[in-house]
Amino acid sequence: MKCKRCKAPAEVELRQHNAGFCRACFIFYFQRQVERAIAKERMLVPEESVLVAVSGGKDSLALWDVLIELGYRTTGLHLSLGIGAYSDHSTAKTVAFAEQRGLPLITVSLAEQGLAVPDIAGLTRRPACSACGTMKRHYFDQLAIDRGFPVVATGHNLDDEAARLLGNVLHWQMEHLARQRPVLQPTHERFVRKVKPLFRCSEYETAVYAFMRGISYVVDECPNAAGATQLLYKELLNRLEAESPGSKLTFVQEFLHKAQPALTPAAVEPPQTCTGCGMPSYGELCGFCRLVRETDIRRARRQAAGRA
Ligand code: AMP
Ligand code: ZN
């Protein structure tokens, strides 16, 4: 197969586009895809400072790399989640990436705040992924607001979005479907815009891009993700994609074009202000502060029981 752009021997075949690319042209193609997604969905304006949420995995590091190449002013935000060796490796990869390129990076260690994900999940008996999601949402908004960033970019890719869409459709989660967009505008002065510039790039394309750009990333999945329903949906979609290339892109793209505009988010009261942390909340305390409070109470009880 020959490269679609320059006719040199192709190194990557993209079956969903019925095209092959050599290394240089694939890098160009990938960056153009992201550039177009940003422009079409009006995710970012050139002079804005973007806070990039970086996990140390291929998607968010590839995203950071592309945003730099496209000329955006960026700062990385990494949450060290306290999930054993997995988190240590993730943090090391993120720090190395930022140092090699001289990029600003904010790192927050949850373990140092007594909020390591396995601890809060164990103490409050919540699923680790749910506790982890609450922490991420809170810190992404809070740090963006405190440091003056109008927007947070995450590395969610096409496979993530297709799997989430399948889950939402299987359960007809109308409110989640109404909010499943590549750009989410803030609904409160202490929320910021969230954007997903890689939403049209498949996991495979992102992995190839990271490899071709020499990005060193954490390959392991989060140990908590094993058996997660999201992985089953991804497997199913991969089977569909193998039989019918382009299925994932059509599924997500046509949803956004045809179904999404017909869904209006349910009229909910605007959020109040959390009395614990000042962030938006539906109730006196936000989800994060409830989780922290519950953790503190159970930890104190456990310590008291240990002393008795
Ligand atoms: P996940 O929820 O693991 O599928 O990750 C989705 C996106 O959230 C990633 O592409 C990152 O942009 C962001 N993210 C995930 N984990 C972290 C983390 N520990 N620190 C900062 N950003 C993260
Ligand atoms: Zn709060």
Q: What is the pLDDT of residues 174-227, one digit of tens each?
A: 989 999 999 999 988 889 999 999 999 999 999 999 999 999 999 988 888 766
What is the percentage of the chain residues whose pLDDT exceeds 70?
Answer: 99
Q: What is the pLDDT of residues 74-112, one digit of tens each?
A: 999 999 999 999 999 999 999 999 999 999 999 999 999
Q: Sheet with 183-184: list strands edge to edge.
A: 105-109, 73-80, 49-53, 151-153, 193-195, 183-184
Instruction: Pick the atom of ligand 1 nearest to 79's CA.
Output: 20
- The residue whose CA has the least distance to atom 12 of ligand 1 is 154
The yes-or-no verdict on residue 62 having pLDDT over 70 is: yes
Angle between helices 203-212 and 58-69 (to 10 degrees): 60
Cβ of 53 less than 6 Å from ligand 1? yes
Rg (CA), the chain: 20
- Report the pLDDT value the prediction gives residue 270, as an integer from 0 to 100: 80
Centre of ligand 2 from the C-alpha of residue 283, in Å: 10
Cβ of 55 less than 6 Å from ligand 1? yes
Among 52, 54, 55, 65, residue to substitute to test ligand 1 (most atoms within 8 Å of Cβ)? 55
* DSSP H or E run through 298: helix 287-307
* DSSP H or E run through 51: strand 49-53
Centre of ligand 1 from the C-alpha of residue 245, in Å: 27
Q: What is the pLDDT of residues 10-37, one digit of tens each?
A: 999 998 888 999 999 999 999 999 999 9
Centre of ligand 1 from the C-alpha of residue 53, in Å: 6
